[in-house]
Structure 1
Amino acid sequence: MENERYDLVIAANRLPVDKLTGPDGEVSWRRSPGGLVTAMDAVMRGRDGAWVGWAGDAGDAPAPFTDNGMELVPVPLSAAEVADFYEGFSNDTLWPIYHDVIVPATFHRSWWAAYKTVNQRFADAVCAVAAEGATVWIHDYQLQLVPAMVRAQRPDVRIGWFDHIPFPAVELFAQLPWREEIISGLLGADFLGFQRKADAENFVRACRRLARLSTRGEHVQTVDGRVVRASAVPISIDTAGLDELARTPEVQARAREIRESLGNPKKILLGVDRLDYTKGIRHRLKAYEELLRDNVIRPPDVVLVQVATPSRERVEAYRQLRTEIERTVGRINGEYAAIGSSAVEYLHHSYGRDEMAALFQAADVMLVTPLRDGMNLVAKEYVACRHDGDGALVLSEFTGAYHELKSAYVCNPHDIEGTKRVITKAITDPVRERRKRMKSLRKVVGAKDVQTWATNFLAALEHAPHRPEEAEDA
């Protein structure tokens, strides 16, 4: 694919494939799970498109290659850049700021230098494969400088950027020493998409207060006279695909096996999270432990299954979190587990799509209780898998999903007493009430799937204004 150009170029921190090395050393690639990959598959089908991203290993990048009809363009990262750009600036500087500083952010000028270097490398790769007048869609907080870097080289292309995580209030964003550079980087785009209206408003407010730019509604006027629109385009999931998967005999049988392996409890509570301090796992365990202490629930009638997918284990805050959670799980089981049954089944590894669908089918109550989350697709995935019309979703009001899934059992995870009441209600509500809520939730998730999200984003990008007078007419 050398010297080939594409009408649609996707840029994200990671390629949509995972590297597999066989016993004989032969390398193959497996399509990654996740909503973004599913969405881009639908968008690229029948289009001339390429995906720019890191392949996941430090060192030299593989040559560009084709996977299932999608052209993949790997970007190299050295071991030092993985440490400074990804683990450092992206996940120890930006991530805390963008998630309400649940843990303190760390600021290092060397990390910022690496962030700029890697963003320029991504921008160069995008420009090298984008056709004249191409659409370029850049994703997430790791690549916030890429829009302006691409525009500097290729003013002919249409540039969109989507933020998969929250965008912070201006008072938090202001802590970043490089705040104006990030604003300028993002304003290289024609259209900026966010999960929530509040996130888009936070960005526009940061432009006005920190960069002293003129704003009007969703529009920001740049120093070079362009107008950039920032708006909410909440992401979703492959609803039909998950619903179909959950109905298969294999998944149905596996769901029954899971219940049997847990001793056929009356109620299974389920948490599925990346092991991250933003996900509220510690608060969830505290609420659950107090319900056990208060004798509201008791094993073997009730069990909590907590899946905690490994995450960023070279970052100190994550290592500390894992230690604390495992210590808490051990204490709860030591205090409340019955012989032959656990109070908490703790699983520190990831699962495939089929196993997750079975877990969703097996769980009577789904606990989605982050302290802050851009969207949280697990909430939508649980709903999509409940074709039986039963099940209860306990949902934090600090997720993007809350703004769409209003029929869930809503909680403030910081309020332990309130969370306990909501969990108890989800466990004890009559079947009729649970089914009424689930019917409403499934209607929302069914109407707004991942293909709808991608279509809406690209339509907003296509019609984004170029000049102030176009913004006035919008």
Structure 2
Amino acid sequence: MDSGNYGKYDFIVVSNRLPVDRVAEDDGEGWRRSPGGLVTALAPVMSSSEGAWVGWHGAPDETVEPFEHDDTHLVPVPLSEEEVEFYYEGFSNATLWPLYHDVIAPPEFHRNWWDAYKAVNRRFAEATAAIAAEGATVWVQDYQLQLVPRLLRHLRPDLRIGFFNHIPFPPVEIFAQLPWRRQVLEGLLGADLVGFQRASDTSNFLRAVRRYTGSLIKQHFVELHDEAGRRECRADTFPISIDVARINELARRPDVVERSRQIREEVGDRTILLGVDRLDYTKGIGHRIKAYGELLEDGKLQVEDTVLIQVASPSRERVESYRLLRDDIEASVGRINGTFDTLGKTAIRYLHHSYPTEEMVALYLAADVMLVTALRDGMNLVAKEYVAARTGVDGALVLSEFTGASDHLRQAILVNPHDIDGLKERILQALNLPKGEATRRMRAMRRQILQNDVEHWSQTFLHALAAGRG
């Protein structure tokens, strides 16, 4: 690209979705900042630099011109209805998602999905190349855009490119199933820095690179030769976190505290077990419900004393495996409630909704035990949010060892969710945890999270990207 044709933005984030949601306003439609840690973490960087964000705006078959929102230049990338079906619902979420989550569900491999994935990734790369200033920093986010780093490197070898993978990266023996494994690896290696949630993900990626590209690897650096000449790509671990200050503030707000009291009153002042998940087969919701149901059957828990509140926010409802999962979960809840409910008490309060952050924090405050039983999860921020909300330094967290969060929250009650008997034991352990031990565990976990919030994550990654090898 001719130097006279460079864009003006020094820092660009590229993600599947823009950081805004469309909302109805009195004078028509407007945009509201999306909730979420990534948007919060990057807002200060956007404000302090000429920042831009490239992503899809959420509506298929519609072109929206670039616009400004909260000190950020937003560049919508259009997607057709077919591309949403093939690139997003298909290759991203029915091929890569299950493959990267240890094939808990079988991945599907379709060449037309792959073709759509390539085309959309190219469109994202071209939109980014067109607006980047000379030598700009570009940070590409997540598995939907794994080809963007190399495509962008080809278009703009002057850029400094980072990529962060928010989900797990699978062992090489599983990744090997992907027909386009080499192309995906080469796409990622277009970056200067590739970040992962866990050290095991980094190591899985480097093993795959060694096996399928033949590149020379020294420690965390891959030696490469491409449009930019001889260069290196670093792969390393940068565990993401949450907006701790925001959760802490809400947990102390009088209206949120009052709402938590109301929740306890609404369920009859019983001991509350809480699950909060996107409705996804990786989250282990069925395992959790099965364990709770068996505890009721065994007489170890009674519906008069204990309730499970399960929030399962809607997710990918056009994908068949997700529709089937919803049917299974709702049938399990119905069976348990039909067996154990009394006129005044319900065993499981199942809530298939999304809730604002204020309501979620009220639920965290109300819950005596948080159950995070994911079968595979890159991090699981719900576990960290629960700990951040426990300003009274009480409560208990039952946490799957297959989450990235288990690397950091070592004082949680760790569990293998596939072991239903073990899960039942851990739930009872959490319910009967002596007050002093519960406080000690929660204090240690809160210390870890307070020192490592989402801003710390973004700054650590961006400093590593800016520093290069030095």
Match of 1:18 among 13, 21, 45: 21
Partner of 2:320: 316
CA distance in 2, matches of 1:171, 1:222: 24
Do the aligned residues in 2 keep the contact of 1:10 with 1:52 (CA within 8 Å)? yes
Alignment partner of 1:154 is 2:156: yes
Alignment partner of 1:420 is 2:428: no
CA distance in 1, matches of 2:224, 2:417: 39
Residue 427 of structure 1 deviates from its aligned partner by 0.4
DSSP 3-state at the match of 1:192: strand
Do the aligned residues in 1 keep the contact of 2:6 with 2:134 (CA within 8 Å)? no
Alignment partner of 1:254 is 2:256: no
Question: How far does the alpha carbon of each residue in 1:100-132 deviate from its partner, in whole angstroms, 9 at most, with x for none?
Answer: 000100010000000000000000111111111
Residue 165 of structure 1 deviates from its aligned partner by 0.2
Which deviates more from structure 2 when the two are superposed, residues 210-219 or residues 144-153?
210-219
Partner of 1:184: 186
Match of 2:47 among 45, 53, 56: 45
DSSP 3-state at the match of 1:277: coil
DSSP 3-state at the match of 1:41: helix
Partner of 2:81: 79
Which deviates more from structure 2 when the two are superposed, residues 99-108 or residues 12-21?
12-21
Corresponding letter in the other structure for 1:405: L
Partner of 2:203: 201
CA distance in 1, matches of 2:412, 2:238: 21
Alignment partner of 1:291 is 2:304: no
Question: Compared with structure 1, are the counterparts of its residues 342 and 150 closer, same or farther at alpha carbon in structure 2 (3 Å cutoff)?
Answer: same
Q: Report how many aligned residue pairs link the two structures.
A: 463
Do the aligned residues in 2 keep the contact of 1:43 with 1:454 (CA within 8 Å)? no
Residue 223 of structure 1 deviates from its aligned partner by 4.0
Question: How far does the alpha carbon of each residue in 1:37-82 deviate from its partner, in whole angstroms, 9 at most, with x for none?
Answer: 1111132232210000001110123111111111111100000000
Residue 250 of structure 1 deviates from its aligned partner by 0.6
Residue 300 of structure 1 deviates from its aligned partner by 2.2
DSSP 3-state at the match of 1:33: coil
DSSP 3-state at the match of 1:271: strand
Partner of 1:136: 138
DSSP 3-state at the match of 2:468: coil
Do the aligned residues in 1 keep the contact of 2:7 with 2:134 (CA within 8 Å)? no
Residue 3 of structure 1 deviates from its aligned partner by 8.5
CA distance in 2, matches of 1:70, 1:27: 19
Question: Compared with structure 1, are the counterparts of its residues 3 and 152 closer, same or farther at alpha carbon in structure 2 (3 Å cutoff)?
Answer: closer
Corresponding letter in the other structure for 2:448: V
Q: TM-score, normalised by structure 2?
A: 0.97
CA distance in 2, matches of 1:61, 1:401: 39
Corresponding letter in the other structure for 2:322: Y
Match of 2:63 among 61, 64, 89: 61
Aligned Cα root-mean-square deviation (Å): 1.2
Q: TM-score, normalised by structure 1?
A: 0.96
Partner of 2:437: 433
The equivalences for 1:8-407 within 5 A come to 8-22=11-25, 26-224=28-226, 225-265=230-270, 267-407=271-411
Corresponding letter in the other structure for 1:11: V
CA distance in 2, matches of 1:348, 1:29: 25
CA distance in 1, matches of 2:63, 2:434: 56
Corresponding letter in the other structure for 1:298: Q
DSSP 3-state at the match of 1:226: strand
CA distance in 1, matches of 2:63, 2:383: 35
Corresponding letter in the other structure for 2:250: L
Do the aligned residues in 1 keep the contact of 2:6 with 2:133 (CA within 8 Å)? no
DSSP 3-state at the match of 2:377: coil
Do the aligned residues in 1 keep the contact of 2:45 with 2:51 (CA within 8 Å)? no
Question: How far does the alpha carbon of each residue in 1:299-353 deviate from its partner, in whole angstroms, 9 at most, with x for none?
Answer: 1210000000100011010000000000000000001112121100000010001
Corresponding letter in the other structure for 2:209: C
CA distance in 2, matches of 1:42, 1:386: 27
CA distance in 2, matches of 1:82, 1:15: 15
DSSP 3-state at the match of 2:136: strand
Corresponding letter in the other structure for 2:279: L
CA distance in 2, matches of 1:345, 1:102: 26
